[in-house]
Structure 1
Amino acid sequence: MTYQEKLTEIRKQMQADKVGAYIIPSADPHISEYLPDRYKCIPFTSGFKGSAGTLVITQDFAGLWTDFRYFEQAADELKGSGFELVKQKVQHAPEYIQWLTEKLGPGAQVAADDKLLSVLLGDLLTQQLGAKEITLVSKDYLSPIWENRPELPSEKAFLIEEKHIGQSVTAKLAQVKSTLQKQGASHHLISSLDDMAWLFNIRGKDVSYNPVVLSFALISPEGTQIFIDAAKLTDQEKASLSQSGVEVHPYQNIEQAIAGIPSNSSILIDPKRNCFGLYKLIPAGVKIVKDTNPSTNLKAIKNETELANTRTAMLKDGVAITRFLKWLSENIGKITITELSAAAELRKFRAAQEGFVGDSFTTISAYKAHGALPHYSASEESNYEVKAEGLFLVDSGGQYHYGTTDITRTIPMGNNTEEEKTDYTLVLKGMIEGCKVRFPKGTCGYQIDAITRKPLWEHAINYGHGTGHGVGYFLNVHEGPQVFNPTANPVPVALGMITSVEPGIYRPGKHGIRIENLVNTIKDITNEFNEFYAFECLTIAPISTKIVKKELLEQAQVEWLNSYNAMVFEKLSPLLTADEAAFLKEETKAI
């Protein structure tokens, strides 16, 4: 079926049910960012492959609501699909709800599969549509038209030994239960896959890039149950979980377990990380406490074992990045190098490192104008040849058994313009300011975001994405609760949190520049004014100085840059061949 034909079939079902609009979010029953093939509903329906967006279908309009990161990609991928791009003003904001309330009259019905709506979104839709006398109903219009819809993945899972993770399942459960007690909750439902992975020291291959397993958990006074395809675990692994007080049940039994919660109980449920469909199964009379999963906050604070192992992963990753940069510099102009072939070569260098599992996200390999698309994904159709001129942006990361990496470097390829040099230096200034900042305990991410943006704001330049996101430990490359963006998120930046610092400048049709390091929050000094924190740069890879306009940098920024590159050489050179070390020496020389 073509996208137009799918749209026609969906509209026929809507008409039969007297439904005025159908919403298709980018989600699964675990409210994941990266989805199993079975739940890639937006690509199936419209052809759009970005990781954030919402489709809304009425009888006379079909639109994709997405943000700045995907405008050009969406405009290209939606051609001929019957869907139009609707540009969101605010990232992740459900702006289509307002559109629906204006489009539909009282008595209308809006449908969505409630297993693909978060509790937060389901409540919001119910309230805002309800205020206009519009009813939200649960419908799945895709399964009837999705021939050979992929089954759920059946890859094996595995448990990580405590010595590699620093904390036992028993200890983690005790921490979560302590929080539940403080919150006055007897039960707790967990759907988010990274929380499941962290809490039960379990990893798997059910989702691209994130080493997680499709599963749920229900914690109650009677014990802890996880709901998972039992074939994913060995008898030994099930016995290990049992020794930690964890019972294993079939994946699909979660609905029955929720429906069976005694009505005099109370349950803590994270409205952002659980689906509306399961939430509606909670029996009447059960007190509902809506708050962030306790494991989300606990997971964000990396213990000493996790931090030590992450530093090892960063060394391995730095070796791979250095070898890639050397390969690129020696081969450009001699062999044909494209965005896709460069990304493949980088993956080979990572794959040669001990403990490498896979990429932590799709590599953004973006040459010249493609760099202006913050989430560009090279395809056979768009694949630029990389030449010895302009700027080449590479944003990539690796999953290792001992950590997760995420790094962006913008590589000057030669013959760079003054505008490119100025933009590169301003992005570097912002990144340095974000990395070298000293801040009092209690500082939140939006304050770090503003400090990082200030060097760009001074030139009336801004960027449309956040400055940084949390990063997991051999887990999701995007995790919370902390985030560095303009939103007034009240989560303080705490000790042991790993976060990215990645400002950028994007000039459509010309170039894009982003430079990214991961940082760990550490203690700095304590005095009569407060306890002050700082950042330890975890990423160990050279930052090119070839086109830096030194006159735009302050002395403290020059010193930071020289010190950082010297540290990179000191730590990586013993792991490199003599030729590689000589290349790195040149790349990291002081300015």
Structure 2
Amino acid sequence: MSSYSDRLKALREQLKADRLDGFVVPLTDEHMSEYVGEYAQRLAWLTGFQGSAGNAVVLPEEAAIFTDGRYTLQVREQVDGKDWQYVPVPQESISGWLSEHAPQGGRIGYDPWLHTRAWVKEAKKALAERGADLVPVPRNPIDAVWADHPAPSPAKLEVQSDMAAGRSSADKRAEIADWLAERKADAVVLSALDSIAWAFNIRGTDVVHTPVALSYAIVHADGTADLFVAPEKVTDAVAQHLGNAVRVQDRATFGDALTRFAGKRVAADPERAVAAIFDGLDAGGAKVLSVRDPVVLAKALKNPAEIAGHRAAQSRDGAAIVRFLRWVSETAPKGGLTELDCVARLLEFRQQTGVLRDTSFDTISAAGGHGASPHYRVDEASNAELKPGQLYLVDSGGQYEDGTTDITRVLPIGEPTAEMRDRFTRVLKGHIAIDTALWPEGVTGGQLDSFARRPLWEVGLDYAHGTGHGVGAYLSVHEGPQRISTPNYPGSGATEPLRAGMICSNEPGYYKAGEYGIRIENLVLIVEKPVEDRTVLGFETLTFAPIERDLIEPALLTPDELAWLNAYHARVLEMIGPQLDGEDKAWLERKCAPIG
């Protein structure tokens, strides 16, 4: 269709044909994934929004798109305000908006394979206040009007070696069986793609940036399992790897399989399993246990092999980042360098490692005012030149078979202003506060979050995103259950206790609309640390690349903070220096020289 307005009009016509007075469009797939395959990009197809989190509602006379603070600027650039209302979350919710805008007595459609059961319950209650009803649809109406709708990826499954995984799939399934026995349950449904990939030591290329395969799994109390995946995706090597204890079933039969547990106790995750899964289990007479997927925490607690792999990946990635930062710092002042040029060049540096499998998300390459949108995604239409007087923010990551990386750095193009140095140094102080934090067992990410914000709060400033997210081991760059964030930040995790073995990001920031953005991000591993006669928890830094010295105002740093910075840079030089030579190494030595 010729325009997004035409697509919206076509959807409204389809809703009318389906006897619906509205439809809810989430940005997810049947697995509640953050990043989804091309076939599931319904929100982007309908609205033009390219962010990684959002929802929309279409009614006969109005339409709204819901995004959080990370996308306040981006959604206005990408989505036409003549067709769509911009609704901020968590200040407002879809259910709350529907309770005020849905037609009296109307029928609002939803795809039960794209929403949780809790959301369905909440939305039904809100609509009932207007005498309206929430109606499950047998076919997503967007698919009916999306003429060139892509098919799901046909890519083959890949084996993740036991050496890289650190544990065999049989061992992991035995642990899940023990978990089931403790709950007197017969089976557990795994629907999150990264949970399945971890439990079966398989990977895939069905979803950009995340090495997973479109599949479902049911693990039984005896440690056997049914893996539901398109049969043509399973090679002989994968079949041999899975063994006789894993029965491969066609993914298309998963819905029917859910109805065959009459009288059985079956566990399913209310956050990660969609409403249709619970509907199928209920319809078949299963006794459903709504509990968290047992893989979630096990996957977050990295074993020694995964930790060693992460360290290797971070070191390798750091060398690529240093080469890139030097290139930008020397090329941008000459003029003509664009955001897309930087994306391409950074990819080249990572590819030169010879082992890059993918990027871990779309590189955020943001010059000037674009940096004020925390999740800005450059395209041909928005591509801007890096100009003198600007800050350049680059947030990027790589997927390597031994680890997943995520790092943000900021460079000044020319001379930064005093305000830029002040804000950057306050963000750095918050970053150091997180990195050096110590805490007893049981402390949550929500309790640590304010450490990072205090230097900004002291001058009346803040940032509208979390301070840290979990990271997988050659899996999702955004992994739960842990999160360092304020409790009201979208998504769960702020109340999850932080445990040894978890990997988090440490990424406070500051954003001035229309002018610049600042974020300093490293990945950190939670480890045990001795303090006097007891053991507490703290962080071990995993990411090594210089923090831009020309943006630091040393007078704002305490002696301890300055000592941290100089020690960090000494470690960067120790870790990355041997991988470089010539001008790259000389540049790094200058950037890592002690300050003060």
Bin for the TM-score computed over the shorter chain: over 0.9
Residue 533 (structure 1) aligned to one of 522, 537, 557 = 537
Q: 2:491 — aligned with what?
A: none
| % identical equivalent positions | 36
Residue 275 (structure 1) shift: 1.4
User: 2-side partners of 1:196 and 1:102: how far apart?
Assistant: 40
1:125-204 equivalences in 2 (<5 Å): 125-130=123-128, 133-139=131-137, 140-204=140-204
What is the aligned partner in structure 2 of residue 270 from structure 1?
Answer: 269
Does residue 553 of structure 1 match 2:552? Answer: no
How many Å apart are 1:22 and its aligned residue? 1.0
1:348-371 CA-to-partner distances (Å, cap 9, x unmatched) read 001111321111000001111111
* Corresponding residue for residue 233 of structure 1: 234
**How far did residue 43 of structure 1 move?**
1.3
Deviation at 1:386, TM superposition (A): 1.1
CA distance in 1, matches of 2:306, 2:82: 46
Query: Does the CA-based 8 Å contact 1:29-1:115 persist in structure 2?
Result: yes
Q: CA deviation at 1:527?
A: 5.1
Please give the residue correspondences for 1:468-479 in structure 2 after superposition, counting only pairs within 5 Å.
468-479=468-479
Q: By how many angstroms is 1:131 displaced?
A: 5.6
Q: Does 1:316 align with 2:304?
A: no
Q: Cα distance, 1:290 vs. partner?
A: 1.2
- In the alignment, the residues of structure 2 paired with residue 522 and residue 361 of structure 1 have an alpha-carbon distance, to the nearest angstrom, of 26
Q: TM-score, normalised by structure 1?
A: 0.96
Kindly indicate whether residue 126 of structure 2 is the aligned counterpart of residue 121 of structure 1: no
Report the equivalent of 1:282.
281
The answer to whether the Cα contact below 8 Å between 1:34 and 1:208 also exists between their aligned partners in 2 is: yes
Q: 1:559 to 1:111 in 2, by over 3 A?
A: same
Distance 2:120 2:79 in 1: 27
Q: Does structure 2 retain, via aligned residues, the 8 Å contact 1:14–1:22? A: yes
Q: Name which of structure 1's ranges 40-49 and 177-186 shifts more when overlaid on structure 2.
A: 177-186
SS of residue paired to 2:83: coil
Which letter does structure 1 place at the counterpart of 2:264? S
CA distance in 1 between counterparts of 2:162 and 2:86 reads: 48
Q: What is the number of residues matched between the two proteins? A: 585
For 1:457, the equivalent position in structure 2 comes to 457
- Mapped pair 1:380 → 2:371: no
Task: Measure, in 2, the Cα distance between the counterparts of 1:220 and 1:110.
Answer: 37
Q: Which residue of 2 aligns with 1:349?
A: 349
Moved over 6 A (4+): none
Of 572, 575, 586, which aligns to 1:571? Answer: 575
For residues 213 and 121 of structure 2, what CA distance do their matches in structure 1 show? 27
Shift in Å at residue 80 of structure 1? 6.9
Q: Secondary structure at the match of 2:585?
A: helix
The equivalent of 1:502 in structure 2 is 507
**TM norm structure 2:** 0.95
Contact preservation (8 Å) 1:3, 1:81: no
1:46 touches 1:81 (CA, 8 Å); kept in 2?
no
* Bigger Cα displacement from structure 2, 378-387 vs 397-406: 378-387
Task: Kindly indicate whether the alpha-carbon contact (under 8 Å) linking 2:258 and 2:280 is maintained by their aligned counterparts in 1.
Answer: yes
Q: How does 1:515-534 map to 2 (within 5 A)?
A: 515-525=520-530, 531-534=535-538
Whole-Å separation in 1 of the counterparts to 2:82 and 2:192: 32
Pair 1:491 & 2:491 matched: no
SS at match of 2:426: helix
Tell me, in whole angstroms, the C-alpha distance in 2 between the residues paired with 1:14 and 1:578.
63
Checking the alignment, whether the CA contact within 8 Å between 2:190 and 2:217 is kept in structure 1 is yes
Q: Indicate the residue corresponding to 1:431 in structure 2.
A: 431
Q: Which piece of structure 1 moves more, 45-54 or 189-198?
A: 45-54
1:226 and 1:124 map into 2 onto residues whose CA distance is: 32
Which moved further from structure 2: 197-206 or 99-108? 99-108
Q: 8 Å contact 2:472–2:479 — kept in the other structure?
A: yes
CA distance in 2, matches of 1:240, 1:426: 50
Query: What are the ranges of 5 or more consecutive residues in structure 2 without an aligned counterpart?
Result: 489-493
> What amino acid is aligned across from residue 279 of structure 2 in structure 1?
K
Report the secondary structure of 1:178's partner residue. helix
Bigger mean CA deviation after superposition, 501-510 or 214-223: 214-223
C-alpha RMSD of the superposition: 1.7
CA distance in structure 2 between the aligned counterparts of 1:101 and 1:432, rounded to whole angstroms: 44
Distance 2:40 2:535 in 1: 46
Partner residue of 1:86? 87
Secondary structure of residue in 2 paired with 1:461: coil
Task: State the match for 2:71 in structure 1.
Answer: 70
Contact 1:310 1:402 in 2 (8 A): yes
